[in-house]
A = this chain, B = another copy of it.
Amino acid sequence: MNDFRYQAPTRYNFGRGAENKVGAEALAEGMTRVLVVYGHNSAKRSGVLDRVLASLDGAGIFHTEMGGIDPNPTDDRVYEGIDIVRANNLNGVIAVGGGSVIDTAKAIAGGAVYDGDFWDFWAGKAVMDKALPVGVVLTIPAAGSEGSGNSVITKKDGMHKISLRTDTALRPRFALLNPELTFTLPPYQTAAGIVDMMAHIFERYYSPTPDVEVTDRIAEGLLRAIIDMAPRVMANPADYEARANIMWAGTQAHNGVCGCGRVEDWASHGLEHELSALYGVTHGAGLAVVNPAWMTYATSKNPAKVAQMARRVFDVTEEDDTRAALEGIRRLRAFYRSIGMPVTLADLGVENPDIETLVRNVHVNKGTPFGGYIKLYPEDSRAIYTLMLDAR
């Protein structure tokens, strides 16, 4: 086990009607003038935005709103938000939405208290150690941003999508998790969210660090819980108990507890990023294609951890590591298919992938080699993209 430093101070309120506590929670964090960030119509249509604003009004908190945050949120909205915060002397940011909205809110909160260009942090030119307090009302369980110190923002000029990871500066002060708010998510988005949270666990699980048994077992347990609950949410979108488990799993998947004491991998996110950039595929759906392909390739290099996953998550009983690993990957793909997710590039709608461009771009963005469990050089990345053509 490697040395580590870990702190996850976010205060969670979980349950029905949690969004109505936003006023009291914000006041407890000293927020008296806030920017409320949200996405598109669903927050308004569902009534959750109205309830959030009513709760803030009830607590006497001044608020102004910024809506229309898109998936893969961009720096222009962050600059806009920083301007609003400064013009109105705001002292907190409330996100009502999923990862894109939360990440935008975080970037605004960090940028508003910095004299330079907020992008300095994402560009690695400055280290963020403070931000305005951020509160979250979660409506999409997937990205795990409600409990993480991370924020992924895309610079429109050049479309650089960069993930900033802070220890605690960008961890939300509080997150309000009401599973009922997720009842109306479309099936494809529900499933893509499930793949996304599983990928957050896999990226930490596949590690070259030995003897991280506690962290492994937590990761495996979360994967099992997600896999058990997924069919229920797909069959009955209003299954509160299953939605609740998926929601809480998504938070635990990305709050860092699955990474304690080890080197992480994150190669699959790099490989998927290029698919999203070149072909516009949904991040979670792309990961459903990338993760099993990466695991298949990793099995050829170092089957041990893939076999452990197969045995502990999918109850594979094969004694040979390689066979066990491949059987586990087969079951993982079958699971993804069962929730309507793609498992090949063709399933994703990418019929003639430009693998050479994908390989070139991923090494430009991630460097050479990249990855934690196995190191990927261009020939490795090329082999993994090729494995996405076929899912036998």
Contacts and interface: CB of A to CB of B under 8 A. Distances in A.
Interface of A: 1-16, 18, 168, 210-218, 220-222, 224-225, 228-229, 241-242, 244-245, 248-249, 252, 257, 260-261
A11 B7 contact: yes
9 contacts: A4-B13, A7-B12, A8-B8, A213-B228, A216-B225, A217-B221, A217-B225, A221-B221, A248-B260
A220 B214 CA distance: 11
Given A217-B225, A222-B217, A244 B12 contact: no
Contacts of A7: 9-12
Contact of A222 (B2, B214, B222, B260): B214
A221 to B, nearest CB: 3
Given A9-B7, A241-B1, A225 B229 contact: no
Interchain residue pairs A-B with the least CB separation, the first 9: A3-B15, A217-B221, A9-B9, A211-B241, A221-B221, A7-B11, A1-B244, A213-B225, A217-B225
Nearest to A232: B211
Nearest to A244: B1
A14 B261 contact: yes
Contacts of A168: 11
Contacts of A16: 3
A5 B1 contact: no
Nearest to A174: B7
Contacts of A257: 252, 257
Contacts of A217: 220-222, 224-225
A249 B1 CA distance: 13
A249 B213 CA distance: 9
